Amino acid sequence: MFFRALIFFTAFLLACCSYAYAGEWPRFQADNRHTGASSVNFPSKDFQCIWKFRPAEHVFKYKRGSNVWSDSACIANVDGKDVVFIGLYNHNLYAVDAQDGRILWHFITGGRLDSSPCFTMVGGKPVVYIVSADRVLYALDARTGGKIFSYETLEWSYTVSEAVSTSPLVVSINGRAAVIFCIWNNDRAPMNNIQRGELFALDAATGEKIYSKVLSSVPLNSPAFSSIADKPVLFISSTDGRVFGVDARDGSILWEKVLCAQIHSSVSVNIQKDKIQVFVGTGFGNLYALDGHTGNILWAKKFGHAIYSTIAIAGIEGKVFIYFGSQDRNIYCLEAETGKEVWRFKTRDYVTSSCVIAKALNSTVIFAHSLDNNLYCLDALTGSRVWSRDTGKLIWGYYRGHSVNWSSPAVCAVSGRPLLVFPSYDGSVYAFGSSGKSK
């Protein structure tokens, strides 16, 4: 009886922690499973720029290892006001009014911000979490930007390098809200050399460490979360080509699968009845669907070039489809069950960021950005172009290929009005809305 009550209570807390009202986009790729799907419905397919936020005039030099110029935005309702949180290469986390793009506050960290922030309510307080390349996780009051706590994952020394961070998520562990994130720390000291891709679980309210677990000696990607037979499980891919299923309660490894090449794509999870599919793309261009219970390969498919985007998942007309971009310049849609290709859309450059899913005029659409500078809106069932917009050129003259995951769009509803937010590498954050008059 007690056991059942505990399960019920844990499930309830999990639901609360993942709670976001339909219009929010509280973390990387919308939710803990990284589906990238939102139920927001744009009133027309005619999108216009509503506001543009240009945070910094000063352009920092391109630095190798930098994941993005800006990370993907997270959007949440804070005390009745819709706020866009966005971390930048210039070390700042910005809170911007989703109505008009006005800056509300900013918080400066000690390093660049490559991974998305995460918003949640903890003890009735709106909190935003961000992991910085200065090796620290910050928990900030989402209303003011005031620091609630910070947690340093590795002490500073003269020989430490910039950390590689991932987007945090908040889950319930044994009845306790915990903020989960991965970070890669490196100390180049010859005598005390550290190369650690580590998973951390901290108390979401106090920052007290619950556990940490070293999974790899290389950087890890953002963790995804789902419950399997009442067991809370984290799914984490590692850049050395491995995927882990990890018990979220204590960090123990449930399964581990080595794939064909390096992985820069974060894992996403599809749940259908008792079946759990874990999707991940590799640098060799293979897309894998793994069994969430065992890590066994359900199906694998080869594409023309590296798949670095996180796979978006949507159920349409009773079928589940997956969406992703590849460095072979295509955006793909496959059937989740079998991997059968439904359509592909050719762009004119690499597609490395992730697709997001929403609705426009009641039909499902996807938004995706290509390095041909265009933000595309495609029909989710046919792949036909609905809309596209040039979002500007890269502020740097070049970048090192195969090391960059550019930012992805995010979708929300501001006072009931749908909004598409895209931090472009031209130095601006764009917000698009649709006019209500269909074309």
Partner 1 sequence: MNLENLSWKIIERPLLPIEGSSVDAFPFLALAALLFLSGCALKNKKLGLRAISQSISFIFFIFAVHRCFGAIRGWIYGIQEIAGNDIGVFYNLLVFVPLVSFSVIFGRVFCGWVCPLGALQELAFRMPVLKKLQVNLSLRAQRLKFIVLAFLFIFTVFLLFKLRPKTFFFVENIAAFWGLCLMLLTLIVAWKPHLDSRLKKIRSLSLILWIGLIIMDVYVTDPWCVLYGNVVDYSSIISLLAVLVSAIFISMPWCRYMCPVGSFLGKMAGVMRLEIRQKIDLSPEKISQLCPVEALGKSSIDRSSCLYCARCIQAKVSEIEES
Please give the residue ranges that form the binding site for partner 1 (CB under 8 A): 62, 64, 161, 186, 188-190, 193, 195, 216-218, 238, 240-242, 256, 258-263, 282, 284-286, 301-306, 326-330, 344, 348-350, 371-374, 393-394, 398-403
Q: Which is nearer to partner 1, 149 or 399 (CB)?
A: 399
Number of Cβ within a 10 Å radius of residue 98: 28
Q: Which is nearer to partner 1, 153 or 373 (CB)?
A: 373
- Amino acid letter, 63: K
Query: Is 120:127 a contact under the CB 8 Å cutoff?
Result: yes
Strand partners, 108: 92
Shortest distance in whole angstroms from residue 216 CB to partner 1? 8
Q: Which is nearer to partner 1, 195 or 363 (CB)?
A: 195
Which is it for strands 312-316 and 92-97: parallel, antiparallel or unpaired?
Answer: unpaired
Measured CA to CA, the distance from residue 191 to residue 184 in angstroms comes to 19
Q: Which is nearer to partner 1, 168 or 241 (CB)?
A: 241
Measured CA to CA, the distance from residue 60 to residue 23 in angstroms comes to 34
Scanning 94-167, the segments in alpha helix (DSSP H) are: none
* 434: exposed, middle or buried (Cβ count in 10 Å: 0-12, 13-18, 19+): buried
Measured CA to CA, the distance from residue 157 to residue 154 in angstroms comes to 9
Q: Which is nearer to partner 1, 267 or 419 (CB)?
A: 267
Strand partners, 419: 412
Q: Which is nearer to partner 1, 216 or 226 (CB)?
A: 216
Residue 383: partners with Cβ closer than 8 Å, 6 or more residues away:
331, 333, 342, 343, 344, 345
For residue 37, which of 409, 405, 329 has the smallest C-alpha distance? 409
Shortest distance in whole angstroms from residue 198 CB to partner 1? 14
Residue 66: partners with Cβ closer than 8 Å, 6 or more residues away:
89, 112, 114, 403, 404
Shortest distance in whole angstroms from residue 380 CB to partner 1? 20
Shortest distance in whole angstroms from residue 16 CB to partner 1? 37
Measured CA to CA, the distance from residue 122 to residue 109 in angstroms comes to 22
Q: Which is nearer to partner 1, 84 or 322 (CB)?
A: 322
In degrees and rounded to multiples of 5, residue 9 shows phi and psi of -65, -45
Shortest distance in whole angstroms from residue 394 CB to partner 1? 7
Q: Which is nearer to partner 1, 190 or 416 (CB)?
A: 190
Shortest distance in whole angstroms from residue 385 CB to partner 1? 15
Q: Which is nearer to partner 1, 64 or 437 (CB)?
A: 64
The span from the first CA to the last CA of the chain, in angstroms, equals 59
Shortest distance in whole angstroms from residue 311 CB to partner 1? 17
Shortest distance in whole angstroms from residue 232 CB to partner 1? 25
Shortest distance in whole angstroms from residue 166 CB to partner 1? 16
- Looking at residue 206, the DSSP 8-state letter turns out to be T
For residue 431, which of 375, 385, 379 has the smallest C-alpha distance? 375
